[in-house]
Amino acid sequence: MKKVREVQLAEDVISFEWDNKKAFNLKYTAHYGFIRSLCDKDLVGSLEDFSLKEKGYEYFVQVGIGGSALPATAALTFLKGSYFNFYGGKRYFALDNLDPERLKFVLSLNLDKAFFHVVSKSGKTSETLLQFFILLEKGKIKPENVAISTSKGSFLDDLGERLGIKRFYIPEEVVGRYSVFTTVGLLALDFFGLDVEVFIEGGKNGVRAYRNGFSFPNEFVDFAIGNYKEGKNILVVFPYKDRLLKVGEWFRQLWAESLGKDGKGQTPVLALGVTDQHSQLQLYQDGPKDKAFVFIDMPECCDFVAEDDHGFGLFKGVSAGKLMNIEKEATKRALRSKDLPVSEIYIKRPDEFALGNLFVSLMIATAKAGEVLGVDPFNQPGVELSKKFAREALKNA
């Protein structure tokens, strides 16, 4: 039977290998707010009208935390590489932690050459607001050097209006950690000249492919939650390229914050190959058998061969990429030898279309996992409680 074109396009950019043990027979239906955000016809046009590409800025600073920063950081790192900030040209920084030392560094930049994107869905995120207030006061940043992404009618929206700052609105039905395809993720991509329309089209393809039987999201749920129900309470996310590390961080928040409720949830732990073969693998192999493993990999974007191994006898003619792949496969084999469940997501191309497809597929998988567990994957009552306690402490300080 001939495959639907959309499914073939998706399979051309993503594959999923897994130890098939359990199937929840999930339906290939998906009607979520983050999917509807892909169909915002005005979004690309508004980005083009506001485009920052030719305005002479040297720095892009994302002021936000969690889902207000990770989508942009993960996308840029995947598409431009982990070290693009060191090669000259435009640079990216995220104020996604409250450490004053990070803020001090940003304040040391030539702020006339910096553009600030302040992001808070609620418009009242404490860490984001405080840092924005300090930037306004200490950095004297100009309103024309700032854009805000928030909810309509929020405090941040009202403040932006008073200060004459451009505002973009995050759809009410899109939760922060699912906001990749809003200005939360897209404004930074546009700043660095990446193809926003192709990125969005990759997301749309992921949705259309899924609705036509693209099995990756459902199989991911079968693997991860199937093993969770058999006592694997920890999901080790094991990217095997530096440029995939931030994608792992983005997914870690997505999986943890969406599913950790009502005494349920699978704890995502991040490891980096090959580095953490030398720090965590001993525990994974010989420690508690409470973990399932998802490796994430992609082709090398460059490679280097050792033509001379100086008599060592193993590495002559061997490239760094080849050794990395050999070690990954050896690690998977070692884990399987201990009867530990292993899977691998492989992204076949390092481009906007593939990344858009990956992001939407993992968001669909997370939403489906919530359905299997019987939890709401779009709220975060535990986070809201800690915010309430912090505000109470501020009032009493």
Catalytic positions, written as ranges: 257, 278, 387
Residues contacting residue 163 through CB under 8 Å, at least 6 positions apart: 136, 143, 146
Q: How far is CA 229 from the centre of its chain?
A: 25
Q: Which two structure tokens, joined as six digits, stand for 231?
A: 């006592």
Select from 193, 80, 181, 168 the least CA-distant residue to 117: 168
Q: What is the DSSP letter of 60?
A: E
The Cβ of residue 143 has, within 10 Å, a number of other Cβ atoms equal to: 13
CA distance 215 to 179: 23
In degrees and rounded to multiples of 5, residue 277 shows phi and psi of -60, -30
The order of strands in the sheet holding 342-347 is: 14-18, 342-347, 291-297, 234-239, 267-270
Show the CA angle centred on residue 266, arms to residues 260 and 268, nearest 5°: 100
| Residue keyed to tokens 């008599």 | 311
Q: Are residues 240 and 297 in contact, defined by beta-carbon separation less than 8 angstroms? A: yes
| Residue keyed to tokens 């997505």 | 254
CA distance 101 to 256: 28
Sign of CA dihedral 178, 9, 215, 241: negative
